[in-house]
Amino acid sequence: MFDWMLPETHAIAILKKDHDTVKGLFEEFQKAETQARRTKLVDQALTELKIHAILEEEIFYPTVRAHVGRDIMNEADEEHHVAKVLIAELDTIDAKNDHRDAKFTVLAESVRHHIREEETEMLVQVRNEGSFIPEDEREKVFQRFYRGPDTAGRIAGTGIGLSVVKRITEAHQGRTWVKSDPEGGTTFVLSLPKR
C-alpha cells in the first residue's frame, strides 16, 4: 500500500523492483517478433528469476514465515518449486524446440500469479494463547451463533462475531481461516485484497 515510502534499499522495495523487472521481461516476450529476441528474453528472465528465488527463499521467507503462517508459506514454497522445475527444464531445452516458448509462457503465468498474491493480499492475524480448536470445528466457528463445546456456557458471547467477520471479509473479496495448535494457541486470519 505504502510501498512508495520505502527506501530503495529496503527488502520489500528490492523484491518489488525484481517483480517489476520480470513482469517487464514477460511483457516484452509476448511482444517479441523474432525467435532470437524471445530467446534472449527467456535467458534474461531465467537469470532474474533464479536470483530472485534465492533472495526470497533464503532471506525474505525465513523472516516472514512466523508472521504469515505455515499454510501461506507452504503455498509460496510450492509455487517456487513449480517455477524451479520449469526453469530447470527451460535451461535444458534447445532454443529451437517448439515447446520452449510454450513452457516459458506457462512459467510466466505461474510467476505472475505468485507475484499477484504476494503484492495484492493484506493479511490480518489475531492470535490468542487460549483454547485449541480441533480441525473438525475450524469451519464451524464461522457459522452464525456457533458456540464450541469448550466455550458454550463457560465463556460469555453469542457466537455471532466470527460469522460477521467472515461475511464482511467475503464482501470485500477476502477469505478467512483459523489455525490452531494445542501448544501454540489459535490464530484467526483474514486475507483482504489490496486496492
Fold of 129-193: Heat Shock Protein 90 (3.30.565)
| Residue ranges covered by each domain of the chain | 3-119, 129-193
**Pair 49, 21: CB distance under 8 Å:** no
List the beta strands (DSSP E) in the chain.
Answer: 121-128, 175-181, 185-193
Over residues 65-107, the pLDDT tens digits come to 766 667 778 888 899 999 999 999 999 998 888 899 999 999 9
Over residues 22-72, the pLDDT tens digits come to 999 999 999 999 999 999 999 999 999 999 888 888 877 887 776 666 777
Q: What is the distance between the alpha carbons of residues 89 and 71, in angstroms, rounded to a whole number?
A: 27
For residue 19, give the C-alpha cell. Answer: 517483480
CA distance readout (Å), 41 to 23, 112, 183: 11, 16, 49
What letter represents residue 120's amino acid? Answer: T
With a CB cutoff of 8 Å and minimum separation 6, the contacts of 38 are: 29, 32, 101, 104
Name the average pLDDT for the chain.
Answer: 82
| pLDDT of res. 1 | 40
